[in-house]
C-alpha cells in the first residue's frame, strides 16, 4: 500500500468538508456559495485523489452519493419506532374538538392556551433516515408504518440529505423522519424531458417522487430533482434532546437538514386557524405541493402524557385543505367484485383533472348511495378527490341531464360467476354468494392467502395471480399446490428460475401455524388477532369448523357479526372442499394444546417496545401468542408485562410509572424457555 503524503490527506479532508458545505448551501439553504464550474473542479480533484489513494475513501464522501450496480429487489426494514399516521380534520369545528380533547386529557383549564408547532403537510413520500455516530447508515420507506423498504442507495443521491451530520451535539443514534418530494419546477422539467424522449410523463409531483424512490438503480434516482424536508425524529440516543418539537426542528436544521421555512410556533387554536388561512392563501405560490397543515403539541412531555390511539398520536392532527372538485360526464357504471364478495359500483368517467391527478373512475359505494345521488348514466356529475381518498361522485347536475339518460340498475346476479347477489339485513353492501367459487373472489382470495402476514408465498404478486387464473392454471387457493414447472414457464414473462423459486416458496408455505392459516382463509372480519384468538381457544382446525355461534360468542373479541361470518364461511358448500384440499396437499401446522399448562399466559396482555436484537419483534410476538398472551401496542393498567429493548421510550416510562413488570429481551428469552 503506497504511503499517502500528509498534505494529500489534509487536502482530501478539506475537499470533503468544502464540498459538503457547498452542497448544504446549495440544496438546503438555497444560497449557492460558489459557481457550478468551481464546484465541478473541486469534485474532479476529490475523485482524482480517491482514484490514486482508494484507502482514503469514506462513506461520507460527496463522490459516494450514487451507488454502483442496480439492486434485484428492496429488502425490508422494521421500524424500531413505528411511523404512525395522523388523524385528519376537515373543518374549524374538528380543530376545536381536537384542542378540547387535548385539554381535557391533561386537565388543562379551557381558558389556558396550548402551544402548537405548525408546519405545511408536504405531498410526497415519508421516509426514515438513520444516522449512527453522525454517519448516514440506512434509509427506509414508511411502508405500513411497522415495516418499510430499504432505499439507502437512493436516498444517498438526494443532496439535501447530509451524508454526515454537521455541527455540535450530534446524537450517537438519530433517526430522522421527513418527506421526500419533487418541487414543481423540477417536476415540469422532468416531464418535459420525458415528452421530448417520447416517454410517459408522470401524473403529479407526488407520483414522480414515490416512483423515483423505488428505482432499483440509484443512478436513475440521482437524475430526479428530489428534496427532503425533515419533520420529526424516531430514535434519539446520546446527546442532549430538545424539550419541544419546534426546538427539535431547529436542531435538525443545525445538523444539516432542510427545514420548511414556513414552520411556526403558535399559541392557541385561534392562532392555528390564522396559520391555516395564511398557508391556504399562498398554497398556489409555493414551489411544492401541500395538501394541508400538521399541528403538533409542542412540548414533548405533554406528547408523552397524551400518548396514542390505534395507529395515530393523540397530540397531532392534519388539517386538510378543502376537497378539490370538478365536473365531468358519467359514461357508464361497472360492478366489481372484491375478496369478500362485495359488489361495488364503479363509475367510468370522461377523464378530468382533479386533486392533482387525472380521474377516469370514481366509486359510487353501494345501491343506497346511487339512490341518494339520483345519478344516471349520461349525467354531468361533480367529482371530488380529497388527498388520498378514492375519487367519488358527490352530486349529479340535474339541469344538465341529457335526454335518454339511463338509470343505474344494481345486478341481481354476480357479473363474474352469476351467483345470486344478496344484501344482508342491516348492511349497505350487497355481496356475491359464490364464495371461493366466484372467479373474482378467487383472485382476491389467492392474493390474500399469499400475502406476507398470511402464508407468505414470496414471488406470488398480484399480476402473476391474475395471469394464473386468466390462463386457467388455478381455479382456487388449493390449486396453488398443484402448479408445476411446465405450466409456469409457459406464462408470458415467466423465466424458469422465477418459476422454480415460486414453486419452492409454495412448498415452504406448507409449514405454517394454525393462526396464520385461519387468517389466510380471508374470512370476513377475521384479522390476525382474531385468528390467533380462535386458534388459542379451539386448538385445532376441526374444532373451529365445528364451532357453533354460541361457542364462538364465549370467546373474547368475537361478537355476533364475526361469529356469524365464521359459521357461514365453513357452512358454505364451496369453501369447505377447498380447505380440505389445501390440507390434503400437505399444508400442516402444530395443533395448540388446550390443557392449562400449554397456555400459561392466557389472559395476560404484554407490550413490546424498543429494539429487539436477538429475536425479531414479530418472532417475540408469535412466541408470546403461542403461549396464550395478547400482545398490545400500548401500555395500560391492565398490561401484565412490558419487554423493553434499546431505544424504548414513552411505553417504558409509562410502565415504570404504573409499576408494571419490565423485562429485557434476554429475560424474555429465559422466561419463555421455562414455559
- pLDDT for res 122: 92
**What CA–CA distance (Å, rounded) separates 332 from 381?**
12
For residues 253-281, b (16+ Cβ closer than 10 Å) or e, as one string?
bebbbbbbeebbebeebebbbebbeebee
The reported pLDDT for the residue numbered 392 is 86
CA distances from 35 to 162, 328, 391, 564, 582 (A): 20, 49, 46, 71, 67
Least confident residue range of 60-74, 77-91, 316-330, 576-590: 60-74
- CA separation for the pair 346, 348 (Å, rounded): 6
pLDDT-derived band at 48, boundaries 50, 70, 90? confident
Residue 235: pLDDT over 90: yes
Residue 71 binned pLDDT confidence (cut-offs 50, 70, 90)? low
Q: Which residues contact 142 (CB under 8 A, 6 or more apart)?
A: 83, 125, 126, 127, 128, 148
Query: What dihedral do alpha carbons 142, 147, 153, 159 form, nearest 10°?
Result: 20
Other CB atoms closer than 10 Å to residue 663's CB: what's the count?
A: 16
| Edge-to-edge strand ranges of the sheet holding 605-609 | 630-632, 605-609, 641-644, 661-663
Instruction: Give the model confidence (pLDDT) of 134-193 as tens digits.
Output: 999 999 998 878 888 899 999 999 988 999 998 888 999 999 999 999 998 899 899 888
What is d(CA 488, CA 464) in angstroms, rounded to the nearest whole number? Answer: 10
pLDDT value at position 178?
A: 95
* Global pTM value: 0.50
Q: What cell does 19 get?
A: 464540498
| CA distances, 335 to each of 171, 359, 412, 445, 469 (Å) | 55, 18, 11, 18, 19
Percent of the chain clearing pLDDT 90 (strictly above): 39
Q: Which residues, including other chains, have CB under 8 Å from residue 42's CB and lie 6 or more apart?
A: 15, 18, 19, 22
Q: 3-state DSSP helix/strand/coil percent for the chain, to nearest 5?
A: 40, 20, 40
Report the distance separating Cα 35 and Cα 549, nearest Å: 76
DSSP track, 200-255: PPPSSHHHHHHHHHT-SSHHHHHTS--EEEEEEEEEEESS---SBHHHHHHHHHHT
pLDDT of 108 higher than 60: yes
Least confident of 382-391, 418-427, 431-440, 543-552: 382-391
Q: How confident is the model at residue 395 (pLDDT cuts 50, 70, 90)?
A: confident
Cβ-based neighbours of 646, under 8 Å, separated by 6 or more: 237, 610, 611, 613
Active-site option among 16, 103, 121, 651: 121
Active site residue 121: yes
Spatial separation of the C-alpha atoms in residues 518 and 449, rounded to whole Å: 10
Name residue, grid cell 424504548.
Answer: 648
pLDDT of residue 645: 86
pLDDT tens column, 438-489: 878 888 889 999 998 899 999 898 889 989 988 889 988 899 999 999 889 8
Checking if the pLDDT of 320 tops 90, the result is no
For 644, the enclosing helix (H) or strand (E) is strand 641-644
pLDDT in tens, 270-303: 999 999 999 988 887 888 988 889 999 999 999 9
Classify 635 as helix, strand or coil: coil
Which tens digit of pLDDT belongs to each residue from 419-434?
A: 899 988 778 889 998 7
Looking at residue 505, its pLDDT comes to 94
pLDDT of amino acid 28: 58
CA 572, CA 534: separation in Å to the nearest integer? 19
Q: Is the confidence at residue 386, as pLDDT, over 70? A: no
CB 481 within 8 A of CB 586: yes
Q: Which domains does the chain have, with CATH numbers?
A: 6-64 (1.10.287.610), 95-320 (3.30.470.30), 324-407 (2.40.50.140), 435-508 (1.10.150.20), 514-584 (1.10.150.20), 596-673 (3.40.50.10190)
- Among residues 613, 615, 605, the alpha carbon closest in space to that of 655 is found at 605
- Measured from the Cβ of residue 332, the count of other Cβ atoms closer than 10 Å reads 12
Amino acid at each position: 500500500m503506497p504511503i499517502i503524503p500528509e498534505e494529500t490527506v489534509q487536502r482530501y479532508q478539506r475537499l470533503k468538508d468544502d464540498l459538503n458545505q457547498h452542497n448544504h448551501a446549495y440544496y438546503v439553504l438555497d444560497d449557492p456559495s460558489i459557481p457550478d464550474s468551481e464546484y465541478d473542479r473541486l469534485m474532479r480533484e476529490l475523485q482524482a485523489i480517491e482514484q490514486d489513494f482508494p484507502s482514503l475513501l469514506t462513506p461520507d464522501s460527496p463522490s459516494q452519493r450514487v451507488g454502483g450496480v442496480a439492486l434485484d429487489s428492496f429488502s425490508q426494514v422494521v421500524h424500531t419506532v413505528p411511523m404512525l399516521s395522523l388523524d385528519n380534520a376537515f373543518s374549524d369545528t374538528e380543530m376545536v374538538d381536537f384542542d378540547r380533547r387535548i385539554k381535557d386529557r391533561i386537565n388543562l383549564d379551557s381558558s389556558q392556551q396550548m402551544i402548537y408547532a405548525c408546519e405545511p403537510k408536504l405531498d410526497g413520500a415519508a421516509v426514515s433516515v438513520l444516522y449512527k455516530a453522525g454517519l448516514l447508515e440506512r434509509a427506509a420507506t414508511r411502508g405500513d408504518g411497522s415495516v418499510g423498504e430499504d432505499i439507502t442507495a437512493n436516498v444517498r443521491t438526494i443532496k439535501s440529505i447530509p451524508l454526515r451530520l454537521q455541527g455540535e451535539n450530534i446524537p450517537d443514534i438519530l433517526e430522522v423522519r421527513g418527506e421526500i418530494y419533487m418541487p414543481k419546477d423540477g417536476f415540469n422539467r422532468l416531464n418535459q424531458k420525458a415528452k421530448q424522449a417520447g416517454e410517459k410523463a408522470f401524473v403529479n409531483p407526488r407520483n414522480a417522487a414515490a416512483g423515483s424512490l423505488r428505482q432499483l438503480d440509484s443512478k436513475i434516482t440521482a437524475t430526479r430533482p428530489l428534496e427532503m424536508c425533515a419533520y420529526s425524529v424516531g430514535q434519539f440516543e446520546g446527546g442532549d434532546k430538545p424539550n419541544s418539537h419546534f426546538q427539535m426542528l431547529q436542531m435538525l436544521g443545525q445538523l444539516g437538514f432542510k427545514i420548511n421555512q414556513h414552520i411556526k410556533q403558535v399559541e392557541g387554536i385561534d392562532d392555528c386557524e390564522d396559520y391555516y388561512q395564511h398557508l391556504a392563501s399562498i398554497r398556489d405560490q409555493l414551489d411544492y405541493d401541500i395538501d394541508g397543515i400538521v399541528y403538533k403539541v409542542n412540548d414533548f412531555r405533554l406528547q408523552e402524557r397524551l400518548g396514542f390511539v390505534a395507529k395515530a398520536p393523540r397530540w397531532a392532527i392534519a388539517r386538510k385543505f378543502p376537497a378539490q372538485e370538478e365536473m365531468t360526464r358519467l359514461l357508464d357504471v361497472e360492478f366489481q367484485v372484491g375478496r369478500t364478495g362485495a359488489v361495488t359500483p364503479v363509475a367510468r368517467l370522461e377523464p378530468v383533472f382533479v386533486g392533482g391527478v387525472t380521474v377516469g373512475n370514481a366509486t359510487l359505494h353501494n345501491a343506497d348511495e346511487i339512490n341518494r345521488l339520483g345519478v344516471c348514466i349520461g349525467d354531468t356529475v361533480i367529482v371530488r378527490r380529497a388527498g388520498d381518498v378514492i375519487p367519488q361522485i358527490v352530486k349529479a347536475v340535474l339541469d344538465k341531464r341529457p335526454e335518454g339518460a339511463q338509470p343505474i340498475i344494481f345486478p341481481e346476479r354476480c357479473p363474474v360467476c352469476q351467483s345470486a347477489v344478496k344484501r344482508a339485513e342491516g348492511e349497505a353492501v350487497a355481496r356475491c354468494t359464490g364464495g371461493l367459487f366466484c372467479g373474482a373472489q378467487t383472485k382476491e382470495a389467492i392474493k390474500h392467502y399469499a400475502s406476507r402476514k398470511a402464508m407468505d408465498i414470496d414471488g406470488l404478486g398480484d399480476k402473476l395471480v391474475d395471469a394464473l387464473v386468466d390462463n386457467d392454471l388455478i381455479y382456487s387457493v388449493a390449486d396453488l399446490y398443484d402448479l408445476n414447472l411446465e405450466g409456469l414457464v409457459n406464462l408470458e414473462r415467466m423465466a424458469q428460475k422465477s418459476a422454480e423459486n415460486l414453486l419452492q416458496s409454495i412448498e415452504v408455505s406448507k409449514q405454517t401455524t394454525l393462526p396464520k392459516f385461519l387468517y389466510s382463509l380471508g374470512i370476513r372480519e377475521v384479522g390476525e388477532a382474531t385468528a390467533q384468538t380462535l386458534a388459542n381457544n379451539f386448538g385445532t382446525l376441526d374444532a373451529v369448523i365445528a364451532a357453533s355461534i354460541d361457542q364462538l360468542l364465549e370467546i373474547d373479541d368475537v361478537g355476533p357479526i364475526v361469529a356469524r361470518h365464521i359459521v357461514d364461511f365453513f357452512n358454505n358448500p364451496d369453501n369447505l372442499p377447498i380447505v380440505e384440499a389445501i390440507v390434503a396437499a400437505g399444508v400442516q401446522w402444530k395443533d395448540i394444546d388446550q390443557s392449562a399448562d400449554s397456555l400459561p399466559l392466557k389472559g395476560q396482555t404484554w407490550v413490546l417496545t424498543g429494539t429487539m436484537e436477538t429475536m425479531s419483534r414479530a418472532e417475540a410476538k408469535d412466541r408470546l401468542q403461542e403461549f396464550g398472551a395478547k400482545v398490545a401496542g400500548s401500555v395500560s393498567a391492565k398490561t401484565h408485562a412490558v419487554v423493553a429493548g434499546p431505544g424504548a421510550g414513552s411505553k417504558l416510562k409509562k410502565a415504570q410509572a404504573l409499576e408494571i413488570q419490565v423485562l429485557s429481551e434476554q429475560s424474555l428469552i429465559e422466561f419463555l424457555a421455562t414455559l
